[in-house]
Structures are given as C-alpha cells and as structure tokens.
Structure 1
C-alpha cells in the first residue's frame, strides 16, 4: 500500500533530522579521533602506547595529551635498542622498550629562562638533585655529581652530571640534567644500568698506552679513561679509551686531563680491551661515549 503524502513528508523530515544530528556529533568528536590516529606513527602496540602515556603523566601531568608517538631503532637485526619517541606541546620524551624507562627528554623550558637570572653551581645542584630524586633516585646512590656551564652567549644554564666509579673504572650508569637560569630543568639524559660484574685483571695504563700507539707514528696519548660497558647479553667489559694527539703538541697542563697523558683535545681515539689487549674499531666510539 502506498504511503500517504503527509506521512512521506514526516518520514523524510525525521530522516533528515537524524542525519544532521549524526553529522553534528561527528564534527564534535572527529578532531580527537583524527589526532589520535595521525599521531601514532608506525606499528606501535597497546603496551608501548601505555608506556608512552605513563611517561607523559609522570613528567607533564595527567592532563597532557600526546601529539605524536613513534618507534625508533626498532628495525629487525639493526642492533639498536627499541626506543619510543613521544611528543607533546610541552616537550618530548624518549622511552626505552621493553623496560619502559624514560632515557631522555626536553621539557619545553623557554630559551629566555637561560638568561633571566644568574645561576650558581649550588642552585643548579639543588634543582638537579630534586629532579633526580623525583624521577631517577637510582642515580643518587653511590655516584658523584659534577656541575659545568652549558655554553656561552649569556646562557646561564648548568649541566649537572652523576657518574659512578668502582676501583677507578667508570661505570655505565649516567644521569645528565640541564638546569636553566630560573632553576627549571630544561632537558636530561639517563642510563640506568645495574652494577655489572667486571672481568679482570686489567691492563696497566702503560701497556694500553703502547698498544694504542701501534701503527700511529708521530702521535702520543693526550688523555685516557678506564670505562666499563655492558653488552646485549648483560656481560660486563672494561676498556681503555685513549685520545691520540700529535707528538709535537706541548705538554702544558690542560683542564680536561684525566688518567694518564695531559688531556689535550684528541685528533683520534683508540679503544683497547683492558683485559685481553685487543684493539676495538674506533668507528664504534659512539657505543662507548653515548
């Protein structure tokens, strides 16, 4: 049976009204749905996304939205640890996966904060220690802080760094915190590594010195550092890092000196396994200084 004309009109108006109401809801909620989907770059699973959200809550508060999340260093067989890069309008963070630990961040402190007020080493240490106690308490256990200016040009910020040593060997843990002139932390980098079991015995500095100079006539040792490194299997290793400089560089004392040598800026760096004496390819230096 045919629908009367008045009934058809009423049905048509109801249908149009429903479409308009649905369109209004889409317009209201579409921006948030769209930003969530566009902000996720790459194959991120729900656990990784949860880690990113937890990190943002810890450093920026519970109401800070994520703008972009992506994976870095996750290519199969790349040899790199997986990192989750998280961006917000207040700053960005890098999260290690699967540990979920935050390893670096920029906290969106304006550049003007670096020149607003002179910052003493004591103030920088106090602000940096408060930040470390809140976010990285492990870095304060058995470590020694050092404070350095960040740069020139009227920049009053300071870097506070924590390092640990065992028997003169630099351990792989680290925390670097940059404190701006107004005592706000502007950025940080952290490496949480438990105390490794270290091998021995260790080559003397003089033995490593001789090995480092093999094949490098006309060079001498500028500075050296005995460091430890933990490989992907969790095994600890010890290395001598030695900077090589031209032999005709004067031997005046230099402020950057550590270990043997005079601490001159390096022309090249030699890496010596401090247990078996093997020379490590210097192209891998970033793995030892990162």
Structure 2
C-alpha cells in the first residue's frame, strides 16, 4: 500500500501527539526553560549593543531540543543500553523525520548567527551524540538510539547546508572558511571518537528492530504452529476432535507446542513439524479382532503417514500388552547402522481395532560416528573390571557425549550401568 502525503502527515501528527503524552509537562517545562535561557541571552546582547533577536531565537530553540530529548518520560531501555539497530528507515519513518526536523532549524539559526556552517554541523552532531549518551546513562525513561543519532546528525547537516546556501544567496560572506573547515573537522572527529569510545566501553547494545521482528515472527509462528498441531490432532484422534487449548514454549530456535483436546493430548515441534508424543484420553484397549500381524500392518500404515523419516530403514518389533479381549500391542521402530542403534525412536501403542492409543517419537538424523573398535565381550570385561560385578546386558547405541555423537556401550552390571566409548574403550563418566 502506497502512503499518501495526507497519510504521512497524519502519522507524523500521531507520533508528535504520542511524544508529547510520553513526556509529562513537556510544554510547561519548555516554556520555563526557554524563559530561563532566552531572557539572559537577550539582556546580555542588548547590553553589548549586539543584535539580539537571532541569538534569542537560537537560545529558545536549544531549550526546545533539551526539553524534547532530556525531560524524563515513561518509556525507554535500561540504563547504559542503546538501540544499535541499523537506521534503515531514516527517511521513511515518521519518528526519524521528526528528529531530522528537530535539529535542522537549530543548525540553520546557528549558521545564520555565526556564519560557520562546518563548525555548526559538527557542534550539533556532537550535541546529538551527547543527548543519546545522556538518555542511555541517566534514569530518564528515554531511549538511546543510533537511528535517532543518525536522524539528528542528518538534520544538523541539512540545516547547516540550508544556512550556507542562504548566506550565499544573500551575498553574506562566511566567517573565515578555512578556519571554519579546520575547526569543524577537528570537532567532528573528536566528537565521533569520544562517542564511539563511550559506546564501546560502557554501552550495552541491543537491536530493537531485530527484537521486534523476532517477536513478530514468533507470534506468527505460534499461530501457524497452532493450526498445524490442530490438524495433526484431528489426523491422530479423529476428524471430529475438538482442540480445547494449546500451550507453546520456545526451545532454542524452535517452538514446542502441546494441544489438549477432547480426545487426548498431542505435542510436537515447529517449524520442523515433527510430532513427539500423543496419548489418548481413552487408553483402554478395544475388543477388536486384529491379530498381531494385522496390528503391525496398521501401525506401519500410521507410522509411514506421520513419521516417514523414522520408518525408513528401521526394524519393527511388536509385543503384546496385557491379555484378554482388551489387550493391545506396543510397536517399536529402531534403526541400526553398523550394528549401532541410532538415536531415532518411535514407539506406538495400538489396540486390536487398529486404533493408536499413543506414541512417543524422537526424530533425529542419523549421526556420523567414529568406527567401533570395542566389541561386546571387551565392553563387558571392562565393565566387570570397573564394578567387580558380572555384566548382565550390553547395548550398543549412539549417544551425545559433551556435544559430540559417539558409539557407546551401555553395560548393565548389577545395580550399576556402565557407559563405555565403543571407539576408544574409555569409561564415560555420568553416563549410565
């Protein structure tokens, strides 16, 4: 949608109104401050038989800048924080345009008064930096912002340029141009180094735009995740399933979402769209007629639909739960690579009608592991040497050790399980 001039003006008015309301007593404070600064300025100029209107106008305008930027408000970051986001909307944001407009007239008045545009531009740029640092250091309820600093400095440059053009058109000579250039450049460099030094040593940088984009993206992702988990719930529990509530929790770069329905609960992760678990509120077995082989086929059909990545290349095992007419089956999928059990997991509980009561899944890509050099017998011998107890079982599987996937023997020795790195033969402390 293209913004019209009227729309831009209306947006600017709203920003001005919001700025005034955010700083209680702004107008009254400005009038008092302007009187305190302008009156002595005018009196001193008259006493010295100097033109006073321009000096007084500049004094009043500086009072306005200080009032607008430094009076305590009800918003802002914490002390010694500053929004260092890139000022990409410098000439399109109503707030930035107002900051440009705030500093440009003051710089224009100063150039008309002192006839040194380079020095004036540098001085107003330094003033802008000092204002932002004061907003960051003080408990003012104001927001330090690199975008505001850039907008204020842009206003100072534009005001100084307009002032220089005005003097040129009026054929009024500039005051010692070479000295103005030298003083202005020196002041600008000194101010830039000082402000940069304080920013580097004291300021805690935050990126408000990026944070806002992240929050907006998180909110949009949460809505999409709600829609996805609702669809999954109806696919698992039945098309007439009603979602009562959803709970979303941020887990690193992903969302973990759980839906509570009238048929049970289901959870998964977004945006990977991987289901993790579900359990029906009706967990009693059905009095069906499917045998073990038919239940395995029904489970395979369900698993291929919802967990194709887990099923591919996996082995299926089926075992019964309970007995009688309400017995059910646990259908387990595991994948092996070079006899090492991969971290992928899929466990289904299925009734004799083919209804899936629940499932638990872990969808993980098969990791690349070091070559196994320790066989089962050696792993059991190492465990026995450690515990002094005979080993009862041994399982070779992939596990993360200090953030790295390793082939690991889990050896059961009495009441103590021992974890042994199958590539090095070393015992893994804390694993069992």
Superposition TM-score tier, normalisation by shorter sequence: 0.5 to 0.7
Matched, 1:274 2:384: no
Q: Which residue of the other structure, out of 392, 395, 411, is the alignment partner of 1:222?
A: 392
Give the aligned partner of residue 274 of structure 2. Answer: 101
Larger strand proportion, structure 1 or 2? 1
Give the aligned partner of residue 85 of structure 1. Answer: 258
> Counterparts in 2 of 1:51-70, with a 5 A limit?
51-60=225-234, 64-70=241-247
Give the number of the structure whose alpha-carbon radius of gyration is greater.
2
Matched, 1:126 2:300: no
Give the aligned partner of residue 236 of structure 1. Answer: 405
CA distance in 2, matches of 1:124, 1:184: 9
Number of aligned residue pairs: give it: 211
Give the aligned partner of residue 31 of structure 1. Answer: none
**CA RMSD, 1 decimal:** 2.8
CA distance in 1, matches of 2:250, 2:354: 33
Change (3 A) 1:201 1:129: closer
> Counterparts in 2 of 1:1-290, with a 5 A limit?
45-60=219-234, 64-71=241-248, 74=251, 83-109=256-282, 111=284, 114-151=285-322, 155-217=326-388, 219-230=389-400, 235-245=404-414, 267-282=415-430, 284-285=431-432
- SS at 1:179's partner residue? strand
CA distance in 2, matches of 1:117, 1:90: 20
- SS at 1:99's partner residue? coil
Structure 1 gaps, min length 5: 1-43, 246-266, 286-290
- SS at 2:243's partner residue? coil
- CA deviation after TM superposition for structure 1 residue 131, in Å: 0.5
- CA deviation after TM superposition for structure 1 residue 115, in Å: 4.5
Change (3 A) 1:72 1:212: farther
What TM-score comes out, normalization by structure 1 length?
Answer: 0.64
CA distance in 2, matches of 1:206, 1:273: 14
- SS at 1:280's partner residue? coil
- Cα displacement string for residues 177-226 of structure 1 (whole angstroms, at most 9, x for unaligned residues): 11112211110111222221111243122332232123422x11111111
Change (3 A) 1:107 1:134: farther
